[in-house]
Amino acid sequence: MPVFHYQAINSKGARVEGAIESISQEMVVNDLRREGLYVSSIRMEKNSFLKKEIELGRIISLDELVVFSRQLATLIKSGISILDAVRILADQTENKKFKKVLKQMEADIRGGETFSATLNAHPKVFPPLFTNMVKAGETAGNLDDTLNQVAIFFEKENNTRKKVKSALTYPIVVGILSILVTIFMLVKIVPGFVQMYADFGAELPLPTRIVIGVSNFFVDSWYIVMAIFLFIIIGLGYWGKTPKGRYYLDFAKLKIPVFGKLIQKSAMARFARTFSSLLSSAVPILQALTMVSQVVGNEAIAKPIRDARDSLRQGKTIHEPLEKHWVFPPLLTHMMAIGEETGSIEEMLMKVADFYESDVETMTDQLKSLIEPLMIVFLAIVVGTIILAVLTPMFGVYDMIGQ
């Protein structure tokens, strides 16, 4: 953000000098005037290359977005204009990148832009779902209520994501650890025993020969293993970017034992709450279905949602195409059918979202209590099998030494 050096005169006639970060010279003059300072001269400092900010990744977290929505809703409900509300939040935020965005939004609003238009100009900060809900709230004249709904939506979405991540993180970490320990033992430990058995001429049982064969392959052909691994990772990465590849990879995620069901329930909660929130914010239903298909996070689920949108375009119901797809449980489609018949689909979807979010929470708590001992047993079996296979011939060596 540019730095402006200024000279001004205060209410007592004294000369004041200073520097301030802002989007434009006009905003600096306006800010200083509100503080009772009258600017006599102002110049913008030219930043060197080292002073320029390099923006990488997300500018704000989901938690910060929730706090921003709640605070903005409170300020607007208190009768403060959207321009002043954005300025207040810009002044109080400690996130420098977010402050820069809010200052730019303030300047755009002051220039006549709508609030939703300024949000749309910063897609790295405000997701399309957020922008479209705000736009609908502006049109309906209930921006404060819409912002509260947005905050509730992203808060629940964030909590559900954290629950799913916490359930998936432990087995992934233990799985990677198991692979690393196994490779270490095959490369560093097993070859020492192989040499010892060769010196004694001991007869090796089948499990030991298998482990030694795998160990020799890793030691002599590690570059082939690495090449195959990289080929698979890169190949899946490129294939996953294609529509067909994305669909089948997402389909495979839903078929993973135990965890696939957790991912499915999480996606159902996201679908129901997103769709309900958009409809409650007066977003047109066809546009809402398009947005839901984009944010649901799984192409195998997004495809039937697009089919439902096409069905609605043809004058049919939404729930019928979803009923034909295995990924949508009967509970969800029945509730949607009732909602369509009674004209209360938003309320029905909100109840479905609450149910599946509660179900995800219960399931993750159960998984946490079960996964830890199961993964410890899994690691013990993997490592124990190698150790037993390597140490079993030792008894034959002792017999040979005793004779």
- Has this prediction a pTM greater than 0.85? no
Please indicate, yes or no, if residue 56 is contained in any of the structural domains.
no
Site of tokens 């797809």: 325
User: Within 10 Å of residue 352's Cβ, how many Cβ atoms?
Assistant: 25
Determine contact, residues 147/134, Cβ cutoff 8 Å.
yes
Distance between CA atoms of 387 and 184, rounded to whole angstroms? 12
**Domain harbouring 28, CATH code:** 3.10.20
Q: Within this chain, do residues 75 and 28 fall inside the same structural domain, yes or no?
A: no
Distance between CA atoms of 204 and 394, rounded to whole angstroms? 10
Per-residue pLDDT, averaged over 17-29, amounts to 66
Among 118, 135, 154, residue at a domain's last position: 154
Q: Within this chain, do residues 145 and 160 fall inside the same structural domain, yes or no?
A: no
Q: Which pair of tokens denotes residue 69?
A: 């929505």
Please indicate, yes or no, if residue 179 is contained in any of the structural domains.
yes
What is the maximum alpha-carbon separation in the chain? 109
Please indicate, yes or no, if residue 57 is contained in any of the structural domains.
no
How many domains does one find in the chain? 3
Per-residue pLDDT, averaged over 20-24, amounts to 60
Please indicate, yes or no, if residue 401 is contained in any of the structural domains.
yes
Q: Which pair of tokens denotes residue 55?
A: 């923006």
**∠ CA(142), CA(149), CA(317), 5° rounding?**
95
Domain that holds residue 100: 62-154
Q: Within this chain, do residues 119 and 240 fall inside the same structural domain, yes or no?
A: no
What does the pLDDT read at residue 55?
37
Q: Within this chain, do residues 218 and 144 fall inside the same structural domain, yes or no?
A: no
Q: Within this chain, do residues 178 and 302 fall inside the same structural domain, yes or no?
A: yes
CA atoms within 13 A on the CB side of 123: 1
User: Within 10 Å of residue 14's Cβ, how many Cβ atoms?
Assistant: 8
What does the pLDDT read at residue 334?
92
Q: What is the pLDDT of residues 301-351, one digit of tens each?
A: 988 898 888 888 888 888 888 888 888 999 999 998 998 888 888 899 989
Q: Within this chain, do residues 95 and 208 fall inside the same structural domain, yes or no?
A: no
Which residue from 44, 20, 24, 23 is spatially nearest to 32, judged by alpha carbons?
20
Q: Within this chain, do residues 283 and 252 fall inside the same structural domain, yes or no?
A: yes
Q: Within this chain, do residues 292 and 387 fall inside the same structural domain, yes or no?
A: yes
Among 154, 173, 202, residue at a domain's last position: 154
DSSP, collapsed to helix, strand or coil, labels residue 44 as strand
Q: Within this chain, do residues 390 and 276 fall inside the same structural domain, yes or no?
A: yes
Determine contact, residues 283/133, Cβ cutoff 8 Å.
yes
Distance between CA atoms of 359 and 365, rounded to whole angstroms? 10
Q: What is the pLDDT of residues 338-390, one digit of tens each?
A: 988 888 888 999 899 889 888 888 888 887 777 778 878 887 887 888 888 77
Q: Within this chain, do residues 43 and 22 fall inside the same structural domain, yes or no?
A: yes
Please indicate, yes or no, if residue 399 is contained in any of the structural domains.
yes
Residue-wise DSSP of 98-156: HHHHHHHHHHHHHTT--HHHHHHT-TTTS-HHHHHHHHHHHHHT-HHHHHHHHHHHHHH
Q: Within this chain, do residues 80 and 41 fall inside the same structural domain, yes or no?
A: no
Please indicate, yes or no, if residue 114 is contained in any of the structural domains.
yes
Please indicate, yes or no, if residue 22 is contained in any of the structural domains.
yes
